[in-house]
Structure 1
Amino acid sequence: MTPNPLAKSRRLSRALVDLRDKAGYGQTELARRSGVKPSVISRLESPGEPGRRPNILFVRKLLDALDVPRGSAEFVQIEQFAEAAADRRWWDEPRFARMGEGQKTFALVELGATGIDEYAAGLLPGLVQTAAYARHRILAGHGDDVVAAVAGRLGRQQQLATQGTTYRLVLEEQAVRRYPVPPGVMLDQLRHLLALADEPGYSVRVVPVDAKLGDGPAPRAPFAQMAYPGDDPSIVIVDGVTDPHLVTSVDEVAEYAQLHQRLREAALSDKDSVAFIKQVAKSLAAAT
């Protein structure tokens, strides 16, 4: 499976900070010894923007200045972190250039995920949208190029299927009952959702409006938690009105994981959720 660039970038940053602290250098001193500008060192130690990619040459210079022997297991591992973080991505192709920066962030955190736990409130999320549903929602949105944005959503879905990612979706009832697209489009979308629910590795659950959520905070926005292989840390992406927000703190990620689990427990079972969606689709079909 392709490693997640953002997760590797975070591990790269942590490794560089630990090595610099161990050597007793400040960023200015490390810049003097390595020939790498302090601003570059600061960016490498703080990944910042999700789309930022490390310069592998600078990473090697820092490792040399920190007395990490070339060819050692430590040097090779950190070099691999940098290479994975800088690797080319499928959305670098020209046809995806205008698919939207927010969607590129979603694609980035989804890349290489072994499991995705997602929660959606009023709208169905991009990973389950049909092309027609996506097109209508993009046209109602923030001006992204429609063709590129639809292609981006379908590309993310293909990425999910190719990776064999386990996907557990929890939907509020209104996401199924509400019609933010024409009725015929919504009917096809519900049928598509039912087909996905029948796929191995997919789980779709619906939270009724009268569900008892139990103790703890209630969700304030749609979110998804990504789990990655090995020691790569999990990431949560929270869907905002305009741009998504990444949560990387271990404690905060754990809180979102607990929230998703409580929502799953409050929701209808997979079987009952499918029956619910079928009934909504049946009623919609009769009315159209």
Structure 2
Amino acid sequence: MRQFLPAIPSALIQTPEYARAVLTPSVQGNPARDVDRAVRARLDSQEVLRDESRRFHFLLTEQAIRWQRAEPDVMASQLRHMVGLADQPNLDLAIIPSGVTVSATPFNVFVTYDDRLVIVELFSGEVALREPQDVAYHLNLFEYFRDRAVSGDVAKVLLESVADEFTQQRA
């Protein structure tokens, strides 16, 4: 599974507090939802990360880790949680730093499932793409963005640095 996340971390790597902040309606007209139930569903879905026969690639922009969707302590905790996840052998966590030139525009979140399916997320729902040329395009797009990203220890240092900035806001 490859997830491109230009705005916020994936539900699969969110802490409960961050998920609650993200799922709590703040815009008029936002669909009504049971936030507690939605948070539980997100946490339950994270069990899939324990399956080491599967590979997960999370590709975020630096803006996605800096966009303050919650209080500073929740943000710092979320980023440190991601640092811990980056050590999982079946998980690749990469971040496109703000200072990198990227000529393609990241319009929306998308998830590719092998070479069979792409789910593109929109404000009002999702679009499933199964045509080989659509899947290939999104795989190429993912690789284009991934080639401009940092991962491993460099990504962990970036996450810790931004977490420290949020911690300093709290002080």
- What TM-score comes out, normalization by structure 2 length? 0.89
Q: How is 1:1-288 mapped onto 2 (pairs within 5 angstroms)? A: 116-140=1-25, 142-162=31-51, 164-213=53-102, 217-227=104-114, 234-288=116-170
For residues 72-104 of structure 1, give each alpha carbon's deviation from its aligned partner in whole angstroms, at most 9, with x where no partner exists: xxxxxxxxxxxxxxxxxxxxxxxxxxxxxxxxx
Match of 1:36 in 2: none
Q: Is the 8 A contact 2:118 2:128 kept in 1?
A: yes
Shift, 1:195, TM fit: 0.7
For residues 192-221 of structure 1, give each alpha carbon's deviation from its aligned partner in whole angstroms, at most 9, with x where no partner exists: 11111111111111112232235xx43310
Going by fraction, where is strand more abundant, 1 or 2? 2
For residues 35-82 of structure 1, give each alpha carbon's deviation from its aligned partner in whole angstroms, at most 9, with x where no partner exists: xxxxxxxxxxxxxxxxxxxxxxxxxxxxxxxxxxxxxxxxxxxxxxxx
Q: Is the 8 A contact 1:235 1:247 kept in 2?
A: yes
Q: Secondary structure at the match of 1:218?
A: coil
Q: What count of residue pairs does the alignment treat as equivalent?
A: 166
Bigger Rg, which one: 1
Q: Is the 8 A contact 2:52 2:90 kept in 1?
A: no
Q: 1:241 to 1:129 in 2, by over 3 A?
A: same
Larger relative CO (CA 8 A, sep 6+): 1 or 2? 2
Please give the alpha-carbon distance, in whole angstroms, between the structure 2 residues aligned to 1:191 and 1:255: 33
**Unpaired runs of at least 5, structure 1:** 1-115, 228-232
Q: 1:269 to 1:130 in 2, by over 3 A?
A: closer
**Unpaired runs of at least 5, structure 2:** none
Shift, 1:253, TM fit: 0.3
Q: Secondary structure at the match of 2:51?
A: helix
Please give the alpha-carbon distance, in whole angstroms, between the structure 1 residues aligned to 2:97 and 2:91: 20
Q: Secondary structure at the match of 2:106?
A: coil
Task: List 4+ stretches of structure 1 deviating above 6 A.
Answer: none
Q: What amino acid is the match of 1:248? A: R
For residues 152-180 of structure 1, give each alpha carbon's deviation from its aligned partner in whole angstroms, at most 9, with x where no partner exists: 11121112323642111111111111111
Going by fraction, where is helix more abundant, 1 or 2? 1
Q: Is the 8 A contact 1:219 1:259 kept in 2?
A: no
Q: Is the 8 A contact 1:183 1:284 kept in 2?
A: yes
Percent identity between the two aligned chains: 27
Q: 1:238 to 1:130 in 2, by over 3 A?
A: same
Please give the alpha-carbon distance, in whole angstroms, between the structure 2 residues aligned to 1:269 and 1:199: 13
- Over the residues paired in the alignment, what is the CA RMSD in angstroms? 1.6
For residues 100-143 of structure 1, give each alpha carbon's deviation from its aligned partner in whole angstroms, at most 9, with x where no partner exists: xxxxxxxxxxxxxxxx1111011111111111111111112532
Q: Is the 8 A contact 1:117 1:167 kept in 2?
A: yes
Q: Is the 8 A contact 1:172 1:207 kept in 2?
A: yes
